[in-house]
């Protein structure tokens, strides 16, 4: 059985106007975990707690089976981090960044870093402030992959990128994950990317975990029903996540696709995407449907 690389146990952080509300989830070794939710849902706060950038009010966090408690800086050696904003000063070149990082990581490999620069078509002598957004992301990824990290943690790495660059970056992540049981925690609100590469999904909204589990199981369990408003009245409330009705009919996200197919054979049942699942659960909370 695969070990947990990341564990959150009832973790809370209260900012007053926002609260991470006792979240619990785990990420297994060798998996790609999609950490999804709308902007402001709590993804960045959770990642900052995991990386020991900010403290938590309560709960427990474990990284590679060891507690995150401010006393284990060595754990960062095994973690590659990519944020949505470039973490390097804009006046630095990739060559200068190499000089800095080889003195920061015990396992830093200059050869790997410069190989990654060539692979990603990045210049080594150009100031990174002149890079495009896609190039800046690739530079962070090149660095994250150059110190033998076992875990990649990424916060919105593909936000604002065009589909071609996003596809290229997703392929890089998949190649990393397929090698030596590497693990990825990928935070994003671009669910289409995650639907392609994620093995597991953790969905957070309003500082609370809404869904967590195997991505394929979550997709198989949910479905979109399309029917008339009269037919919608027949569907048991126990199956309904959220119901969107208009004068032309109803679209309903249900949480038990197989049962609905058997009980309502005359109603159109379509597979739900991660985006549809996320939107409908968010709408469920916003409209006060959830208990």
- Buried-state track 176-199, b at ≥16 Cβ within 10 A, e below 16: bbeeeebbbbbbbbbbebbbebbb
Q: What is the pLDDT of residue 195?
A: 87
Helix (H, G, I), strand (E, B) or coil at 83: coil
One domain for residues 120 and 255: no
One domain for residues 114 and 245: no
Euclidean distance between CA atoms 69 and 67, whole angstroms = 6
One domain for residues 134 and 247: no
One domain for residues 210 and 228: no
For residue 252, being part of any structural domain is answered with: yes
One domain for residues 140 and 237: no
For residue 147, being part of any structural domain is answered with: yes
For residue 277, being part of any structural domain is answered with: no
Q: What is the pLDDT of residue 8?
A: 97
* Total domains in the fold of the chain: 2
One domain for residues 107 and 150: yes
One domain for residues 132 and 178: yes
Q: Low-confidence residues of the chain, pLDDT below 50?
A: 290-291
For residue 291, being part of any structural domain is answered with: no
One domain for residues 81 and 162: yes
Q: What is the pLDDT of residue 112?
A: 94
Euclidean distance between CA atoms 226 and 12, whole angstroms = 39
For residue 23, being part of any structural domain is answered with: yes
Helix (H, G, I), strand (E, B) or coil at 35: strand
For residue 97, being part of any structural domain is answered with: yes
One domain for residues 93 and 177: yes
Q: What is the pLDDT of residue 291?
A: 41
- Contacts of residue 290, Cβ cutoff 8 Å, sequence gap at least 6: 284
Over the stretch 267-283, which tens digit does the pLDDT of each residue have? 999 999 999 999 999 99
- Sign of the four-CA dihedral 168, 43, 25, 56: positive
pTM (two decimals):
0.89
Question: What CATH number does the domain containing 71 carry?
Answer: 3.40.50.300
User: What residues make up the domain containing 101?
Assistant: 4-218
Q: What is the pLDDT of residue 74?
A: 74
One domain for residues 138 and 241: no
Q: What is the pLDDT of residue 72?
A: 67
For residue 267, being part of any structural domain is answered with: yes
One domain for residues 150 and 77: yes
Q: What is the pLDDT of residue 96?
A: 96
One domain for residues 185 and 244: no
For residue 263, being part of any structural domain is answered with: yes
């Amino acid at each position: 059985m695969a070990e947990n690389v990341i564990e959150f146990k009832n973790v809370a952080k209260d900012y007053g106007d926002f609260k991470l509300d006792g979240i619990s989830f785990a990420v297994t070794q060798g998996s790609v975990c999609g950490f999804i939710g709308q902007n402001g849902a709590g993804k960045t706060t959770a990642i900052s707690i995991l990386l020991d950038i900010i403290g938590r009010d309560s709960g427990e966090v474990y990284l590679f089976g060891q507690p995150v408690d401010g006393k284990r800086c060595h754990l960062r050696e095994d973690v590659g981090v990519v944020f949505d904003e470039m973490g390097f000063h804009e006046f630095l070149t990739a060559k200068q960044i190499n000089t800095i990082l080889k003195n920061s990581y015990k396992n830093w490999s200059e050869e790997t870093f410069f190989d990654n620069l060539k692979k990603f078509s990045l210049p080594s002598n150009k100031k990174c402030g002149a890079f495009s957004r896609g190039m800046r992301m690739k530079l962070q990824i090149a660095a994250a992959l150059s110190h033998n990290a076992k875990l990649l943690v990424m916060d919105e790495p593909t936000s604002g990128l065009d589909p071609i660059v996003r596809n290229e970056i997703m392929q890089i992540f998949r190649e990393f994950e397929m090698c030596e049981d590497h693990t990825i925690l990928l935070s994003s609100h671009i669910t289409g990317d995650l639907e392609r590469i994620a093995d597991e999904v953790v969905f957070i909204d309003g500082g609370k975990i809404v869904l967590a589990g195997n991505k394929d199981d979550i997709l198989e369990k949910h479905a979109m029903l399309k029917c008339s408003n009269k037919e919608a009245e027949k569907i048991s409330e126990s199956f309904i996540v959220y119901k969107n009705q208009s004068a032309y009919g109803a679209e309903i996200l249900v949480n038990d696709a197989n049962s609905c197919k058997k009980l309502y054979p005359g109603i159109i049942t379509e597979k739900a995407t991660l985006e549809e699942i996320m939107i409908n659960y968010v709408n469920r909370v916003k409209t006060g449907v959830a208990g």
